[in-house]
Structure 1
C-alpha cells in the first residue's frame, strides 16, 4: 500500500469515561507513576497547536526497539494527535524518567496494521489489570479489551505515532 494519512474518527469520551481517562495525568506521581508505566501508560506533553502552551495527557504505549508506539483510539480529532501534527517535538514521561523526543506519524496503512497487531499481542501486559477488567466492563466505565478489538478492526485508519527519544531529562 502507498502512504495514506490516518482517517479514523470517533466521538470523544463523555461522562464517567471522560473523568476516568482524565485521572492518570493527575495521579502520575511516585509509586503510582511506576505502576502506570508498568501498565504501559506514559505522560505525553505536546505543544498546543493554537496556544503554544504545553499540554499533557496520558496515553497507552508499546515499547518497540529504541522507540515507543502510541495509538490514538479516539482518532484524528484527539487533541494530542493534532498537536503532534503541528509540532512534532514532545516530552515523554514513563514512570519517573523523562525524555525529549520527536513524534512521527506512521503514514503507511500496512505498517499501522502491523504495529496495531503487535500492540494487540502485547496488550495483556497493558491497561487495567486483567482481574479488574470485568468490573470496569460491568460498571460500563471502560472496556479495555473492546478498545483493543476496535483498534485492530480499524488498524489501517487508526492514527499511529512513533516516538523517538533523543535527550533524557
Structure 2
C-alpha cells in the first residue's frame, strides 16, 4: 500500500469509526453486518452497502483484509445481516478471485461509488443467508 493509500485509509476509517458509523447504525433503513469480535467475542455491527440476490447477500469491502469486519469474518464466518429492519443469519465467504469492480456495478450505485472512490484493496464478500425469515429488531437494539 502506498503512503497516499495508507493516509487515505487512516483518514477515511477515522471518519467512519467516529462520525459516520455511529450515526448510520441508528438509521432503521441502514443495512448492518454483525460479526463476532475476533478478540473480544462481542457482537460488532458495521454499516454496509450491498444487495440481496436470492438467498445471498453481496457486498464489497473497500479495504479488503485490513477491514476489521473482514478480519472478524476470517476468525468466525457466522454473521447476521440486518435488511429492512430484520436480522438474517448466514455464513460469510471472502471471494478474492471475484472481480470486485465488476461486482460493484451490480450493487447500489451510491455505496458503490463511495467504495470505488475511497477503497484501496477491494474484496468481494458473499453471505449465504440461512433459510430463516429474519426477525424484527427489538427495542433493546438486538
TM-score w.r.t. the length of structure 2 is 0.72
Aligned pair count reads 126
CA contact (8 A) 1:106 1:162 kept: yes
User: Relative CO higher for 1 or 2, CA cutoff 8 Å, sep ≥ 6?
Assistant: 1
The equivalent residue for 2:115 is 147
TM-score w.r.t. the length of structure 1 is 0.62
Instruction: State the Cα distance separating 1:146 from its structure 2 match.
Output: 5.4
Q: Which runs of 5+ in 2 are unaligned?
A: 136-142
Q: Deviations over 1:62-90 (max 9, x none)?
A: 22332111111123111100000000001
The equivalent residue for 1:72 is 61
Matches within 5 A, 1:48-59: 48-59=37-48
Q: Cα 1:21–1:74, aligned 2, differ >3 Å: closer, same or farther?
A: farther
Task: Verify: 1:87 aligned to 2:76, yes or no.
Answer: yes
Query: What is the distance in 2 between the residues matched to 1:86 and 1:57?
Result: 16
Larger radius of gyration: 1
The equivalent residue for 1:120 is 105
Query: What is the distance in 2 between the residues matched to 1:55 and 1:91?
Result: 10
Q: Which runs of 5+ in 1 are unaligned?
A: 1-6, 37-41, 128-143
Task: Verify: 1:160 aligned to 2:100, yes or no.
Answer: no
Instruction: State the Cα distance separating 1:149 from its structure 2 match.
Output: 5.1
Secondary structure of 2:66's counterpart equals coil
CA RMSD of aligned residues (A): 2.7
Secondary structure of 1:60's counterpart equals coil
Query: What is the distance in 2 between the residues matched to 1:102 and 1:79?
Result: 17
CA contact (8 A) 2:59 2:107 kept: no
